[in-house]
Amino acid sequence: MIKFSNKAALGNVICGQEIDSLMPEARKALEKLENGTGAGNDFIGWVNLPSGISEQSLSQIQEVANSLRETCEFVVTIGIGGSYLGAKAVIEALSDNFAAYKPAGTKVLFAGNNIGEDYLHDLMELLRERRFGIIVISKSGTTTEPAIAFRLLKDLLEKQVGKKVAAQRIVAITDEHKGALRNLATQEGYKTFVIPSNVGGRFSVLTPVGLLPIAVAGFDVRALVNGAINIEKADNELVLNYAATRNALYRAGKKTEILVNYNPKLHFFAEWWKQLYGESEGKENKGIFTASVDFTTDLHSMGQWIQEGERTIFETVISVEKADNEVRIPYDDANLDALNYIAGKRVDEVNKMAELGTRLAHQDGGVPNLLIQVPEISEKYLGQLIYFFEKACGVSGYILNVNPFNQPGVEAYKKNMFALLKKPGFEAESEAILARLDK
């Protein structure tokens, strides 16, 4: 089981007492979440989701994944925000670091998470002569970025294999009833999966949104879900401790939380985490800013700032106990690089010493360090981490007294973009924004 510790962490910033005194608030927040009495309670379907996933739905997901794996070299997962980050995080964490250069197996690619013309151009060039399929994901069914990517790739696929075969290689994941994507999927006869209406995007990785691409990539979605169930069924002490500690630190002026990893495979897990907490808590002019670093890589860039910059940060370190593979540093007679003092050691032993040394240095530098220990990177422990962070996010948002399940701020850029693009229905905004630009 994953473990959470704040013991060695608090330095002289806060003490255990301050966390203890926040515990009653954390317990109340948990009650609200579990009883559905808090803000945004129509979006808490994820709380009991892992144990509610039936064998039948997992089998259906696996079946569709198998059929895409049999027919396609590439499956492009189209989606943005919560509609892609969970799948990307898990697939990256479980994949060989150089999977892209190793031919075996169906590759899952991502699109619709940016509006980069060169990105889409290069992707279409790659897919032009290849067997590919598409998983298009949008809960609202109307998000611009994935809609553009889907229009382009659907067109490419239909030109390549004809409309009928294309329809067999496209899967849509969206709301059960509403949205442009639902209508399009019905019209075109695509296979579809439903995003439950009471599960928001960033809490949806354990629905088909995350599970289907992860299964297409060849990973064990049952084990992932079982990992999440471990935490769902455990007592809530881990969750309460993390939520209370980060809020105690926030109240003590620590406004930024940096998620730290020592394994490059966790880079996108941190991206998922940043979105989960950033979009859930950053509202009403409140909320911890979520950042992330990959160590030791970033010790040679942001490490300086973390050690000696403004003291408004704390770190949450994901520490993976066991590397998957063993690589030992060889002995060299000439020792011209002066490395024989670590000859015979595993690379991971050196990494662990870097981790410990950094934690101590950052604590000495006034950076509280929270620690999450994970036995290994596997489906089971990723499932545990996912549900742990989701539940702690709900609790933490309620401690902060915001609605963790909406994202009203995301609309501001869209309104301006639609006005600038003269989208029908945005004529008034269009005039106003053009007048503003003229000044």
Provide the annotated active-site residues.
Answer: 279, 300, 414
Joined together, the tokens standing for residue 60 give 């259906």
Q: Cα 295 to the chain's mean position, in Å? A: 18
Angle at 9 between CA 7 and CA 14, to 5 degrees: 95
Rule CB under 6 A: which residues touch ligand PA5? 80-83, 138-140, 143, 146, 200-202, 279, 407
CB distance 235 to 97 below 8 Å: no
CA distance 250 to 244: 10
**Of 32 and 274, which CB lies nearer to ligand PA5 in the complex structure?**
274
CB distance 204 to 82 below 8 Å: yes
Cis peptide before 37 (omega within 30 of 0): no
